[in-house]
Amino acid sequence: MQSEATLPAKEAELTTFPSKGAATIGFEELLGGIRFWRVAHLIGISDLRHRYARSNLGQLWLTVSNGVMIAVLSGVWSLLWNQPIHQLAPFMGVSVIMWNYLSQMLLECTLVFAGQAHLYRNQKMNFSVSIYSVIYKNTIVFAHSLIIIVILIVVFQVPVNWYFLQVVPAFGLTWAAMVWSGYLIALMCVRYRDIIQLITTWLTVVFFVTPVMWMPDFLAPKHHWIIDFNPLAQFLEILRNPFLGQPVSSYTWLFTSVFALGGGLIALAVIGRYRSRIIFWM
Average pLDDT of the segment spanning 206-220:
88
The answer to the question of residue 65 being in a domain is yes
Give yes or no for a contact between 275 and 26, defined as CB atoms under 8 angstroms apart: yes
Q: How far is CA 154 from CA 61, 86, 147, in A?
A: 22, 11, 11
d(CA 199, CA 184): 12
Expressed as residue numbers, the domain containing 80 is 23-32+59-281
**102-113 CB burial, b ≥16 within 10 A, e <16:** bbbbbbbbbbbb
Share of the chain above pLDDT 70, in %: 90
Which of 38-52, 69-83, 193-207 shows the highest mean pLDDT? 193-207
* pLDDT of 246 over the 70 cut: yes
Percentages helix, strand, coil for the chain (3-state, rounded to 5) are: 80, 0, 20
Long-range pairs of 248-257 with CB within 8 A, sequence gap ≥ 24: 248/163, 248/166, 248/170, 255/228, 255/231, 256/173, 256/174, 256/177, 256/231, 257/173
Confidence of residue 160 (pLDDT cuts 50, 70, 90): confident
d(CA 256, CA 73): 29
Q: Is the dihedral of CA 132, 116, 199, 276 positive or negative?
A: negative
* pLDDT of 171 over the 70 cut: yes
The answer to the question of residue 246 being in a domain is yes
* pLDDT of 57 over the 80 cut: no
Total number of domains constituting the chain: 1
> pLDDT of 18-50, one tens digit each?
457 888 888 999 998 899 889 888 988 888 777
Give yes or no for a contact between 47 and 108, defined as CB atoms under 8 angstroms apart: no
The answer to the question of residue 51 being in a domain is no
The answer to the question of residue 118 being in a domain is yes
Confidence of residue 14 (pLDDT cuts 50, 70, 90): very low
> What's the Rg (C-alpha) of the chain?
22
For residues 125 and 182, which has the higher predicted lDDT (pLDDT)?
A: 182
Average pLDDT of the segment spanning 260-272:
92
The answer to the question of residue 111 being in a domain is yes
| pTM greater than 0.85 (yes/no) | yes
Report pLDDT for 19: 56
Report pLDDT for 54: 63
The answer to the question of residue 45 being in a domain is no
Confidence of residue 3 (pLDDT cuts 50, 70, 90): very low
The answer to the question of residue 44 being in a domain is no
* pLDDT of 5 over the 70 cut: no
User: Of the candidates 94, 75, 71, 274, which has an alpha carbon nearest to the alpha carbon of residue 191?
Assistant: 274
Per-residue HEC secondary structure of 64-83 comes to HHHHHHHHHHHHHHHHHHCC
The answer to the question of residue 4 being in a domain is no
Q: Is 164 helix (H, G, I), strand (E, B) or coil?
A: helix
> pLDDT of 75-92, one tens digit each?
888 888 788 888 888 999
* pLDDT of 190 over the 50 cut: yes
Write down the mean pLDDT value for the chain. Answer: 86
Give yes or no for a contact between 63 and 147, defined as CB atoms under 8 angstroms apart: yes
Report pLDDT for 21: 86
User: Of the candidates 136, 60, 148, 160, which has an alpha carbon nearest to the alpha carbon of residue 98?
Assistant: 148
